[in-house]
Amino acid sequence: MARPGLNVVMLGPPGAGKGTQASRLARHYDVPKVSTGDILRESAVAGTALGLEARERIDQGNLVSDEVAIGIIRERLSRHDVALGFILDGFPRTVGQAEALDEMMQKRSPLTVLHLVVPVDVLVGRLHARRVCGVCGTNADPTKPDVGVCASCGGALVTRADDDERVVRNRLQIYEDRTAPLVQYYRDRPTFFTIDGNQAPDAVAAALQGAMASAMSVAQGGAR
């Protein structure tokens, strides 16, 4: 049986720090980080039809279809390594995806939803300055000097096509229109938490871990 409170959804707009903090939580709790963006970028690098189609949409700042995203996550959550939990980054992005995820969670512990909030002007600045590996897609650590190469594989760091300022603003508008309603969908659950993402990364991580402790306490209380 999955340990209580370790099935986590990271919510927040592009640039809020979801990927960075999801990786930290995954290491801290020893569960996999599951990122739809990473899966799709890996597919694009591999040249699969799904990956190439998704890359075109992502480069324009658009979302992939619910059908594609749900299929990716349904397959990923069927694997053995997520039996004790997961950190979801980039899914769900629509209410339809959230409803599908609830169906997938019927035999699992409750979802913990962590909502990162950051002012729009800060998001635009972060995304426009962000650097990623052109080979493996890993984000460069923003707290370390930019040495031009990826710390994971040694590939050259580049600016993502969807981090162009025009595309950034389009992505933020799409988030506001389609993804922000997820907050309304989840906000009345006892394991929903809003976190100030406009802090130093260590402060955000501490706040997230505090929320996780509260969520696990709620889940354990419900199990008795």
Choose the catalytic residue: 18, 24, 33, 76: 18
What's the pLDDT at 44? Answer: 67
Per the annotation, the verdict on 108 as an active-site residue is no
Per the annotation, the verdict on 171 as an active-site residue is yes
Percent helix, strand, coil in the chain (nearest 5)? 50, 15, 35
Choose the catalytic residue: 33, 93, 126, 131: 93
58 band by pLDDT with thresholds 50, 70 and 90 = low
Which residue, among 161, 181, 157, 182, has the nearest Cα to 170 in the 3D structure? 161
Choose the catalytic residue: 33, 76, 131, 160: 160
224 band by pLDDT with thresholds 50, 70 and 90 = very low
What's the pLDDT at 163? Answer: 65
Spatial separation of the C-alpha atoms in residues 61 and 88, rounded to whole Å = 20
At residue 191, φ and ψ (nearest 5 deg) are: -110, 30
- Does the pTM exceed 0.75? yes
- The DSSP code for 123 is H
Domains of the chain are 7-119+164-223 (3.40.50.300)
What's the pLDDT at 128? Answer: 74
Choose the catalytic residue: 33, 41, 76, 130: 130
Q: What is the mean pLDDT of residues 101-107?
A: 93
Spatial separation of the C-alpha atoms in residues 89 and 114, rounded to whole Å = 10
Spatial separation of the C-alpha atoms in residues 173 and 175, rounded to whole Å = 5
- Summarize pLDDT for 3-16 with one digit per residue, the tens: 455 899 999 998 89
Share of the chain above pLDDT 70, in %: 84
What's the pLDDT at 17? Answer: 92
**Given a cut of 50, is residue 1 above it in pLDDT?**
no
- Summarize pLDDT for 109-130 with one digit per residue, the tens: 889 999 999 998 899 888 877 7
* Average pLDDT along the chain: 84
202 contact partners, CB below 8 Å, separation of at least 6? none
Choose the catalytic residue: 55, 126, 131, 171: 171
